[in-house]
Amino acid sequence: MTAAPIHFRSERLMLDPAGAAYWPARRVLIVADLHFETISPATHLRNPVAAAVDTKATLERLNRLLRLYHPAKVIILGHNLPSFGGTSRLAKNEKVKIEAMAREANFIWVDNGAESGSCALPGVCTDLYREGAFTFRHRAAPALGPRELEISGFHHPRASIEARAKRVSRPCFVADANRLMLPAFAGAEGGQDVREPAIARLFPRGLRVFLLGQDQLYSFALEQLGRMAEVA
């Protein structure tokens, strides 16, 4: 897969088509919204295998990125465990896999503090994390401080384009000069279109989308939506 570079002032990040960002200068891997077993209790009772398969696939994808980038630190933005059951909903082998990865890199779970099941997972749990010029939040702040750079998740951004006579809708990264919003790493269905106010108002000067492809990203500005995207 081909990662695409993006620059925030003097800092360079690499956007991976798997839906993660990598910060080479600090050896930091960043993902958002892993959503382990976060289906409703009723659905879980009807089809517990589906949730287990999704969690296994998410962990395998995350482990592949650790093998690829060898990060010193992994920052995970967002809700990762359900309020009902928490870590008890994870299979023993899934807990073992998370613990093994957390021994290879420092895991930082950026979530809603005491309300978050993430605090029961290996690593550090915090509402907010800062490193270098970047502030890491699960949900983007309505406004940024002077010279603040922000990386967030939460909205599960998606974008649609017309490609080869058909409409394609996929998860995406969203960025401007000061913000980067990550797609849900769990690859969950749904999400918010980048043109919806909840996302668009965070980028008042315009935004650039990096649409996730199978092996590469497709980059275009907001005004290009509906047309063929360029390869990032």
Each residue of 82-131: pLDDT tens digit?
A: 544 456 668 889 999 999 999 999 999 998 654 556 677 899 999 999 99
Task: Give the pLDDT band of residue 38 (cuts 50, 70, 90).
Answer: low
The pLDDT score that the predictor gives to residue 161 is: 82
Q: Is 197 exposed, middle or buried (0-12, 13-18, 19+ CB in 10 A)?
A: exposed
pLDDT computed for residue 223 by the predictor: 73
Higher pLDDT pick, 115 / 56: 56
Q: Which CATH number fits domain 4-231: 3.60.21, 1.20.81, 3.30.1380, 1.10.3470?
A: 3.60.21
pLDDT of 142 higher than 70: yes
How much of the chain exceeds pLDDT 90, in percent? 65
What is the pLDDT at residue 189? 64
Determine the Cα–Cα distance for residues 11 and 23; give it in Å rounded to an integer. 8
Q: Map out the domains of the chain as residue ranges.
A: 4-231
Q: Are 43 and 89 in contact (CB under 8 A)?
A: no
Q: What is the pLDDT of residue 168?
A: 82
The model's pTM: 0.88
223-232: per-residue pLDDT in tens?
765 554 566 6
Asked if residue 50 has pLDDT above 50, the reply is: no
Q: Which residues contact 161 (CB under 8 A, 6 or more apart)?
A: 167, 168, 211, 218, 220, 224, 225, 226, 227, 228, 229
Whether 41 has a pLDDT exceeding 60, the answer reads no
pLDDT band, very low/low/confident/very high, at 55 (cuts 50, 70, 90): confident
Q: How far apart are CA 68 and CA 114, in angstroms?
A: 32
Residue 166 has pLDDT above 50, yes or no: yes
Higher pLDDT, 92 or 45: 92
A 10 A CB-CB count for 139 gives 15
